[in-house]
Amino acid sequence: MSNEERFDVLVIGGGPGGQKAALQAREANKRVLLIEETSAIGGECVRRGTIPSKTLRETACALRAFVARTNGAYEVLHKEVVPLESLMSRVGTVVDAHLEYMGRMLARCDVTLCRGRASFASPKTLTVREQSGATRTVSGDIVVIATGSRPRATKEIPIDHEHIMDSDSFLSLAYLPRSLTVLGAGVIASEYASIFAALGTQVTMVDRGDRPVSFLDPELTSVLLSELRARGLEFVGGDRAVSAAWNGVDAVETTLASGRVVRSEKVLVAQGRIANLGHLAIENAGLTANARGLLDVDANGQTSVPGVYAVGDVVGPPALASSAMEQGRTAMRHALGLPPPLHADLLPMAVYTIPEMAGVGLTEEQAKTAHGGALVGRATFDEIARGHIAAATSGLLKLVLDPTGRILLGVHVVGEGASELVHIGQMALIGRLPPDAFVENVFNFPTMAEAYRVAALDAISRRP
């Protein structure tokens, strides 16, 4: 038997978007119930996604940098010897620390937590089925759907999470595969492909497109592809997998549309993600998913049902933790009648490949479309002293300016530290600084940030 419990705000999903929505509501002193299906707050970002993969990435980067910076004086690892478990040994510590931090924050802010699987009984009423099997009914004035996403599966490539895996199961591997076929070339596929190539796995990437992460600036992805190939990765573009099957002994055989058969110890299928809407019974809220299986929302994150919002991966791209957080805040502020956050439209993005890629503002193509042209200043990392010191000379920083070369429109970086470097450009955009500011002000020496000065000088020298 269950009695209906009343709250001001119901948040379904404890990932980045849901957390921020809940905390924003608590700032306004609302009674908030956060419903999370799993044992730990944080969503897939913490358990299987961002945190574990970036922890493994750091290990791979550290090993690679050590070898490069010692000029081969030390043999760091032999690819046969290192079990994945030891490389991942810090992951548990990192995840626990993150979970403890989030748990403390939510508790400090007095967010009520409920562990269970929620479904709509009506637009503002949810049924929550707990782990024990018991159910409870809760209602609220505002509902935020932040249930995230899961890897997309296709009928042609059956995923068994043992030989043919997706990004959720891939890091559960107990050993480093000798060979890996990665199906897809988006963010997740490219990140994992680059990490495992750096760790010594023989990687083959297969995708219909002609380059990885094709939505990014082609100059950036050209640097990435060059680096990946230098580590032995084979990129098979303009093709796709039509079948994949375990041979019962020691390999997965992936057949491509071209007829080629790729043999590898494991296969990672990373061909997009789909929203977690299956258990929600959204039809009871008067909602339907669009043709891509996502929820449509307006600029404030509100669905077609007043008072019901959706944030994060359920609404589609950019599907980043950072954008989900901002969407959560924006949606809740709108729901509460508060002004939107400042500069919510100027979100940086980063792809944690090896090397990293990052950007903020307009791309060169977008600037040409919007302004009838663009002046681009470039700095390669081999022009930067720190690039040589750190043995990280493969990289590029682009300043995208208007045709006069006096207004900064965007910054795009590939190379070591790109995800950090981009924030300098982000601040310059927010402060509407001219590119001359990078020349007239002093940077520490030697730093990678000096690339901003070099790129600015390059652009200024070609001003009309």
Partner 1 sequence: MQSSLQRVQHERPPGPDTVESERPRIRARLAAGQLELPILPDVVAGVLRAASDPDTDARKLAELVRTDAAIAAHVLRVANSSYFSRGTPVVSLQHAVSRLGIKTLRDILLIVTCDQKLFRSGTRGPELREELRMSLATAAFAQEIARVCRRNVEGSFLAGLLHHVGRPVLYAELAAFEAADPHHADAVTVLTDELHAEVGAEMLTLWQLPRELSLAVRFHHCPEDAKDAKGAASIVAVASDVARATLRHAGELEVAALATHPLLSSFDLHPDDMASVLARRAEIASSLQGGS
> Closest separation between CB of residue 22 and partner 1, Å?
20
CB 391 within 8 A of CB 65: yes
Of 129 and 152, the one with the shorter C-beta distance to partner 1 is 129
CB 209 within 8 A of CB 187: no
Of 114 and 384, the one with the shorter C-beta distance to partner 1 is 114
Nearest to 270 by CA among 185, 169, 202: 185
Residue ranges of alpha helices (H) inside 165-254 are: 167-170, 187-198, 218-230
At position 244, the amino acid (one-letter code) is A
Q: How far apart are CA 296 and CA 307, in angstroms?
A: 14
Of 137 and 172, the one with the shorter C-beta distance to partner 1 is 172
CB 14 within 8 A of CB 23: no
> Closest separation between CB of residue 261 and partner 1, Å?
18
Of 37 and 207, the one with the shorter C-beta distance to partner 1 is 37
User: Cβ neighbours of residue 129 under 8 Å, at least 6 residues apart?
Assistant: 116, 117, 119, 135
At position 367, the amino acid (one-letter code) is A
CB 142 within 8 A of CB 300: no
Which residues would be at the binding site for partner 1 (CB under 8 A)?
37-39, 48, 78, 80-81, 83, 85, 92, 115, 117, 129, 131-133, 160-163, 166, 168-169, 172-175, 178, 247-251, 265, 279
> Closest separation between CB of residue 170 and partner 1, Å?
9
> Closest separation between CB of residue 161 and partner 1, Å?
5
> Closest separation between CB of residue 132 and partner 1, Å?
6
Helix (H, G, I), strand (E, B) or coil at 311: coil
Chain-centroid distance, C-alpha 35:
23
Of 208 and 279, the one with the shorter C-beta distance to partner 1 is 279
> Closest separation between CB of residue 81 and partner 1, Å?
5
Of 48 and 57, the one with the shorter C-beta distance to partner 1 is 48
